[in-house]
Amino acid sequence: MATGDGLALAYRAGAELADIEFYQFHPTALAIPGVPTFLISEAVRGEGAYLRNVDGERFMLRIDPRGELAPRDVVARAISAEMLRGGATHVYLDLSHMPNESVRSRFPTIDAYCRNAGLDMTTDPLPVAPAAHYLMGGVQTNLWGETNVPGLYACGEVACTGVHGANRLASNSLLEGLVFGARIVGRTTRTTAVDTENPYANVFRVSDLARASAGRPPLETPSRAALQKLMWNQVGLVRDEAGLGAARTELAAWQNALPESRTPAEHELKNMILIGSLMATAALERKESRGGHCRSDFPDANSRWQRHIILSKAPAARYAKEVK
């Protein structure tokens, strides 16, 4: 289970985090109460599956001319809006118009999982909903996996190497891990020529704001379930200033209210609350919509924000830089 421990450990050690406001949501996770979340591949829509709301309407056609083939961030937000509009906990993925045998042969793993959950994907509409999937940001590195902390390297999903931009293309993360893992080995063994240029030239730096506005007791007892609810509702697919500000204030109060961590679960919760607070901070700073970051109060991309937000524990004076 991903609980942000690598990000939190690196941040506390002084490493800089970049782009953590850019979070990707998978549009179609199987949503059956009591059944573990399972991602229904976007290739299913690519093969011709339809998305329908609880009334049976193929709603994507009125949202985007590409219908179900729109980019995953567009589809995920459309599904979320449709669920909210209809007061539903899911929409449906419909494959009933597709040839049965080709569906089973093309998607055997998904077919088997659905059958175990009591559904036949060739005839039964699959209840689906968006699910948190991939963080484009992470521990900032150069092109050799080096962080700003001497001797600390990062690669894979904990790292922000700069290759994913604001909205990762599917499966690029596997290639990233392979390429940068090899580059780190080459760098540490000195078997390869080294260019230490940092790709993050255009940045907006924010000093440690993780505990900002921590002046009141929490409204709710800190817990994993409460954190998931808060992040989904206020730092989720669609954000705004009021929700992000309220989230930061509550998360700061949680940080101050947490007792000393003694068990793995307590350490994980502390780390998740820290990263949630930092994510809300970055999302609040970025006053535009771009890629996996969507602000309803700033719905368009803004060229002034075509830069990276770097979060650090360093003193604010060192990183003072305004966005004009």
Catalytic site positions: 72
Please give the Cα distance from 274 to 222 (Å, whole number).
12
Rounded distance, CA 301 to CA 322, Å?
Answer: 18
94 bridge partner residues: 50
Contact between 126 and 103 (Cβ < 8 Å): no
Beta-bridged to residue 159, according to DSSP, are: 139
Q: Residue 18: helix, strand or coil by DSSP?
A: strand
Rounded CA separation 195/214 (Å): 42
Measured distance CA(306)–CA(137) in Å, rounded: 15
Q: How many CB atoms lie within 10 A of CB 227?
A: 18
